[in-house]
Amino acid sequence: MISVEEALKRILDSFSPLGLEKVSILDALGRVIGEDIYAGRALPPKDHSVMDGYALRSVDTRGTSPENPVIFDIVEDIPAGAIPKMRIQVGQAARIMTGAPLPKGADAVVRMEDARKEGNRVVLFVEARKGQNIRYAGEDVQAGEKVLSRGEIIRPAEVGMLASLGRSFILIHQRPLVAIVATGDELAGIDEPPSPWKIIGSNSYSLAALVRECGGIPIQTGIAKDRREDLLAKFRAVMRADIILSSGGVSVGDYDLVKEIMKGPGNRMQFWQVAMKPGRPLAFGALGDVPIVGLPGNPVSSMVCFEQLIRPAILKMLGHENLFRRTVRARLGEDITKKKGMRYFIRARIRRDGEDYVVVTTDRQGSDILKSMVRVNGLIILPEEATTVRKGSMVKVQLLDDALERMPSLGY
Ligand code: AMP
Ligand code: MG
């Protein structure tokens, strides 16, 4: 039996970020960019006005006040998108709209509100400062500047930045293909007529959902009987996957064949049994060149093991640098006793309590109780050395999904 730490290390060591693919920037949302992006042009490309108003020479406005207004000749109209034709001379102004390029000669823009138009002249009541209401070329981004680095996650702002640079496609890390093979003679397919002797194999669905949630591409093979030939046939069908997840058949039962297959010729078994609860019988190895994680069949174990050991590997393949869920410290709402030597992952509900967090366990913790995963928003992680953990002590809680966002907000 190895520690969770060691299991995680050995699993992560077996994976690297996948190769790159070219996708549209919108399809890159949430993905990890695999190239550095340099600006091909300055943003904005030209000096322009950030107000609707009048472009003029600031020196011509010296001494202007409501009592001492100045009059300018309007020599040009510059709507957004137009190319200015005139050079602004002494006593001249151009009517200019937000986003329009600044005409030559002008060095300030006076807001519409601070002027009064009278025919083809404009009366000013305030002094203008050089540079006022002007955005200079390159003020946002300089030509040649690095705006995104490989390894960064594409969010809506990054999509906007790429769009403003005219980049419609970028290179991102490919999504891993994650094959899911469920095994168990007691398992029925989801749409099979229900027999009282069978249960529906739900793990392939919860696992596929977990895979999809973190960005992988799940491939469900359907259910294998607890027979060597059947399992091998299912495995053979997914040898192009980046990782195979099997569910069930890794314990010490008479029909638990996954480990045996992993020990077979051409395959490899790296370890079996991890000091964690739930999830102890987990096995890791390779079928040919394809890494395989043998997950225990209990619905809760398979999900918790996925969270701890597989999700980080999928994120690594996707190119992510931060591979782990967020953890917070929370005050425990009850006493918990545990066995020494095992790391416990306890289903829990965490909520805010003022500036702190309070966490309580779900009432039934059996690893076969799928209901205990439903509505859970965190896992209390109790370290190997702990035995009794008292109510009121601070414990580490791993937040699942968008648990934090679903909590009542602290406000601003
Ligand atoms: P095993 O790991 O094969 O010993 O299975 C442990 C328990 O999990 C047994 O009670 C199985 O019936 C159950 N189980 C195994 N595979 C699945 C599955 N795909 N969906 C739901 N329950 C399962
Ligand atoms: Mg079984």
Handedness of CA 51, 53, 56, 58 (dihedral sign): negative
CB neighbour list of residue 27: distance below 8 Å, 6 or more residues apart: none
Shortest CA distance to 167 belongs to which of 318, 20, 22, 21?
Answer: 22
Query: CA-to-CA distance for 74 and 319, rounded, in angstroms?
Result: 57
Task: Please report the pLDDT score of residue 2 as a whole number.
Answer: 98
Whether the CB of 203 sits within 6 Å of ligand 1: yes
* Ligand 1 pocket: which of 195, 199, 204 to mutate (most atoms within 8 A of CB): 199
Residues around ligand 2, an ion, CB closer than 5 A? 184, 248-249, 297
Half-sphere exposure of 271 toward its Cβ, with a 13 Å CA cutoff? Answer: 17
Neighbours of 115 (CB within 10 A): 21
Q: For atom 6 of ligand 1, which residue has the closest CA?
A: 297
pLDDT in tens, the chain (412 residues): 999 999 999 999 999 999 999 999 999 999 999 999 999 999 999 999 999 999 999 999 999 999 999 999 999 999 999 999 999 999 999 999 999 999 999 999 999 999 999 999 999 999 999 999 999 999 999 999 999 999 999 999 999 999 999 999 999 999 999 999 999 999 999 999 889 999 999 999 999 999 999 999 999 999 999 999 999 999 999 999 999 999 999 999 998 999 999 999 999 999 999 999 999 999 999 999 999 999 999 999 999 999 999 999 999 999 999 999 999 999 999 999 999 999 999 999 999 888 899 999 987 777 777 778 888 999 999 999 999 999 999 999 999 976 655 555 554 4
Look at residue 297 in the predicted model and tell me its pLDDT: 96
pLDDT the model gives residue 404: 59
C-alpha dihedral over 253, 259, 261, 265, to 10 degrees? -140
3-state secondary structure of 243: strand
Q: What is the torsion angle, in degrees rounded to the nearest 10, for the CA atoms of residue 295, residue 297, residue 300 and residue 306?
A: 20
Q: Assess whether the C-beta atom of 249 lies below 6 angstroms from ligand 1.
A: yes
Q: What is the pLDDT of residue 363?
A: 73
Q: Which bound ligand lies closest to the C-alpha atom of 296?
A: 1
Q: Whose CA is nearest to atom 14 of ligand 1?
A: 297
- Give the number of whichever ligand sits closest to the CA of residue 252: 1
- Cβ–ligand 1 contact at 141 (below 6 Å): no
**Ranges assigned E (strand) in 199-326:** 199-200, 217-224, 243-247, 267-272, 276-277, 283-287, 290-295
**pTM for the full predicted model:** 0.92
What confidence score (pLDDT) does residue 355 get? 87
**Calpha distance 357→351 (Å, rounded):** 6
Task: Give 186 Cα–ligand 1 centroid separation in angstroms.
Answer: 8
What pLDDT does residue 207 have? 98
Tokens 């709507």 belong to which residue? 79
**Ligand at shortest distance from the CA of 255:** 2
Task: Provide the pLDDT for residue 373.
Answer: 84
The per-residue pLDDT for 405 is 56
> What is the DSSP track for 154-173?
P-HHHHHHHHHTT--EEEEE
CA of 23 to the centre of ligand 1 (A): 39
Does any ligand 1 atom lie closer than 6 A to the CB of residue 278?
Answer: no
The ligand minimizing its distance to the Cα of 278 is 1
